[in-house]
Structure 1
Amino acid sequence: MAATAAAASPLTPLPPFLQRPSFPRFRFTNLFLRNPNPTSSSTSIIVSGPRDNRQPIRRGRTLSTEAILTVQALKRARNDEAVVERIVSTSVARLIRADLLAALTELQRQDQWQLALKLFEIARRENWYRTDCALYADMVSSLTRSKRGSEIDILMVEFMEEVQMGGGALSGDLRGPARLVKALVAAGKGKAVKDVYEMMKRGGCEPNEYLFKFMIKGLRGLGEEDAACEIEKDYELWGFGGLCAEPLAIL
């Protein structure tokens, strides 16, 4: 009995295999919270960025899910003409007008000029399409950023053909032609600026003072002195205060 009482006494140490292991106490909250001392050198900030130079697609009011998926599919397949044509005949063909134009704008924004030209060609075949100077201006600007001068020349030939066939793009509203002229000046296409101006006169789309001066200055900056002088003569005939003294002669 005495031996049993001694074994049960709290003063008697337990065998090692019955003892509770002791662990160091950690403040687990510090593992998940920032270093409370902001001046400590152990604090590091990791900044993540894009894996390449691709611009993110902007999703918003004018870019639907269908347009986003179409743009992504075209960009993935841009080096495979057969796959691109399959996407065009399936996904692109199902896009409504707003989505097609939104996808075109997104490809232009990301300087995917080859894909943008393909969608622009598709848009021009749609029943709802009408010759639009603003659409051409955006396409010219995209090609200018990609330094595709020969494609701009081809595009402007097609534009002139559309206008001559009764597109009506260079009559009435001045905003579209003004955007196109600005894009052509930025692209260094003086002859195209002169051609657009002649088409404006044929269609009865009379420039205002600002556009007259912009074309004159732009053409002179491009070395097109003769064309600038011709437009300057028309500007003088145009009259004081924006009142046309007489119809501008078509050269």
Structure 2
Amino acid sequence: MRVSMRDRSKNRKPLQRGRSLSIEAIQAVQALKRASGKGPRSLELARRSTFGRLLKRDMVEVLRELLRQSRCDLALKVFEDIQKEYWYKAQVLLYAEMFSVFAGNGLFEDVKLLYLYLRTEDNIEPHLEGFNSVLRTFISFSLVELAADCYYFMKEIGCEPDRSSFRILINGLESMGEQVASAKLREEAQKYYGDLEFLQETEEMIRQS
């Protein structure tokens, strides 16, 4: 009698993509959310006793989970706690995540506060992709002054704009009728690239190129 062996690989569950929250991080998120409904003193205690004891990776994951849940009130406090840690180093991409979520929830005063934090960070890395993401959020929510200031700030720290930077700003400003500001950026873009045909490119065209 011939015995056939089953292919066990067909029964294996697919590998999980990305990293899930640790038990400690989940408990911290739950504790912060419970404490937030009991008043400032309870929240302060939870921040110290639960969140403050987490490892670096877990602290950042708690912040991202709170952002995912649009708990901006808690995310801001958690971020301020993270800034006090000895290992903290500013990341433009993390700021970009916060700007997007906070602006999406209409918390524009908090967006301005976070931008002030970004402006006063020490030794921030000139991360072009991160800054372009920030510019995109500011333009999407018609935060013209912040977008313009961010453009000059990134240049101050040695992060030179690329075609995407100019495309986001110029096309966005012109769509809002900000012709004067757009004209100045067109002049600067011409100094960098000469031809401005790239302004007509769409995101899909860029991905396909």
**TM-score of Structure 1 vs Structure 2, range by shorter chain:** 0.7 to 0.9
Mapped pair 1:185 → 2:144: no
Structure-1-length-normalised TM-score = 0.66
1:102 maps to 61
Whether the aligned pair in 2 keeps the contact of 1:123 and 1:129 (CA below 8 Å) is: yes
CA displacement at 1:71 relative to structure 2: 0.5
Structure-2-length-normalised TM-score = 0.79
Residue identity (%): 31
Query: Map of 1:39-118 to 2, 5 A cutoff?
Result: 61-79=19-37, 80-118=39-77
Where 1:147 maps in the other structure, the secondary structure is: coil
Taking the aligned partners of 2:176 and 2:46, their CA distance within structure 1 comes to 41
Query: What 5-or-longer segments of structure 1 have no aligned partner?
Result: 1-59, 243-251
1:168 is matched with which residue: 117, 124, 146? 124
Which structure features the higher share of helix residues?
Answer: 2
Taking the aligned partners of 2:176 and 2:72, their CA distance within structure 1 comes to 24
Whether the aligned pair in 2 keeps the contact of 1:141 and 1:187 (CA below 8 Å) is: no
Where 1:181 maps in the other structure, the secondary structure is: helix
Query: Map of 1:154-165 to 2, 5 A cutoff?
Result: 154-162=113-121
- What is the one-letter code of the residue matched to 1:129? Y
CA displacement at 1:240 relative to structure 2: 4.3
Whether the aligned pair in 2 keeps the contact of 1:111 and 1:145 (CA below 8 Å) is: no
2:80 is matched with which residue: 118, 121, 126? 121
Taking the aligned partners of 2:36 and 2:177, their CA distance within structure 1 comes to 38
Taking the aligned partners of 1:76 and 1:188, their CA distance within structure 2 comes to 35
1:137 is matched with which residue: 86, 96, 99? 96
1:149 is matched with which residue: 88, 108, 112? 108
Query: What 5-or-longer segments of structure 2 have no aligned partner?
Result: 1-17, 197-209
- What is the one-letter code of the residue matched to 1:96? L
Where 1:167 maps in the other structure, the secondary structure is: coil
Taking the aligned partners of 2:53 and 2:176, their CA distance within structure 1 comes to 43
Taking the aligned partners of 2:100 and 2:91, their CA distance within structure 1 comes to 15
2:153 maps to 199
CA displacement at 1:241 relative to structure 2: 7.7
Where 2:95 maps in the other structure, the secondary structure is: helix
- What is the one-letter code of the residue matched to 1:151? D
Taking the aligned partners of 2:178 and 2:84, their CA distance within structure 1 comes to 35
Whether the aligned pair in 1 keeps the contact of 2:174 and 2:182 (CA below 8 Å) is: yes
Taking the aligned partners of 2:160 and 2:20, their CA distance within structure 1 comes to 32
CA displacement at 1:90 relative to structure 2: 0.9
Aligned residue pairs, count: 179
Instruction: Evaluate the alpha carbon distance shift between residue 240 and residue 108 of structure 1 in structure 2; reply closer, same or farther with a 3 A threshold.
Output: same
CA displacement at 1:193 relative to structure 2: 0.8
Taking the aligned partners of 2:179 and 2:113, their CA distance within structure 1 comes to 24
Instruction: Evaluate the alpha carbon distance shift between residue 210 and residue 72 of structure 1 in structure 2; reply closer, same or farther with a 3 A threshold.
Output: same
1:208 is matched with which residue: 146, 152, 162? 162
Whether the aligned pair in 1 keeps the contact of 2:102 and 2:111 (CA below 8 Å) is: yes
1:233 maps to 187
